[in-house]
Amino acid sequence: MSNPSEAELIHMFKGIPFTTRSSPELLKSLDTFDAREDDVLLVSYPKSGTHWLAGVITKLYNTQVTLTSPIEFGDISKLEELNKLSSKRIIPTHLDYNMLPPNFKNKKCKMIYISRNPKDTAVSMYHYYRDNPNLPTIDTWTAFFDLFLKGDVVCGSWFDHFLSWEEHENDKNVLFLFYEDMKKDLPKVVKDISLFLGLNISDDDIQDICKKSSFSEMKSDTEKENSNPSHTVCALTSNRKLIFRKGTVGDWKNHFTPKQNQRFEEIFNEKMKLSKMAKSLTYEF
């Protein structure tokens, strides 16, 4: 069986590559989406810890919440489907800020953006491309590295995505989180999330949630679940096995050549020169 061509797997919308699992009709109709004031958005560039974050957040609510699949995942019937769900909806997305349905912004819905060192994100995404039949075949890390830097990958440029959200980091309804902080001090991050969401959670409960939310716990839970596509919080796959790989910080060092690292640094410094938050991303540059 030949591999499906890139054209069958990827389409462009507003200059950004999407997989065909996000139908053009759905993307065009997102602007009409009716958000609710109590919706919570979980936002990320792919491979930045979305599933992990989603696991933590659903554990923080002891009432009925519905974790949906990403708003841009599916065909035109998706919006109708989301409409039918009772509140409270927790809605993941990989959309950049400009593409977000305007209603979320007008209603000041709470939005949590999780980010990760882009070098680790690139490596994680490379493995994802290699293992995911919904994405074009990319044979070598070198080839993928170039595409990533150019933004010729699903969801477009990491830099543009991050910067589009960073412009809103001071909005009261936006919380910025870093994957590395979750690895380093999960209880503190969980506490920050609960305060942001206005949830009153005791320190004991936070400890308990953290125990159940360690990366390895989440990984084994995920592998036990069946592949129910409505359970995905990633717009690129519903295959459980592809979700949690290593989850390490600094894995990029096993892939980047010194020359690639230098090139990455140059582009990072150029693109992020006006970014105040770039410093938080430079954990182990």
Please, what is the Cα angle at 246 between 260 and 188, to 5 degrees?
100
Is the Cα torsion angle 232, 234, 239, 241 positive or negative in sign?
negative
Say if strands 89-93 and 40-44 run parallel, antiparallel, or are unpaired.
Answer: parallel
Q: Say whether 94 is catalytic.
A: yes
- Tell me phi and psi for residue 78, to 5 degrees: -55, -45
Cα distance between residue 175 and residue 160, in whole Å: 18
Within 10 angstroms of residue 105's Cβ, the number of other Cβ atoms is: 15
**CA nearest 34: which of 106, 111, 112?**
106
Q: Which residue of the set 51, 94, 161, 255 is catalytic?
A: 94
Cα(133)–Cα(179) distance, integer angstroms: 26
In one-letter notation, the amino acid at residue 167 is E
Amino acid, single-letter form, for residue 22: S
Q: How many residues does the chain have?
A: 285
Q: Which residues are tagged catalytic?
A: 94
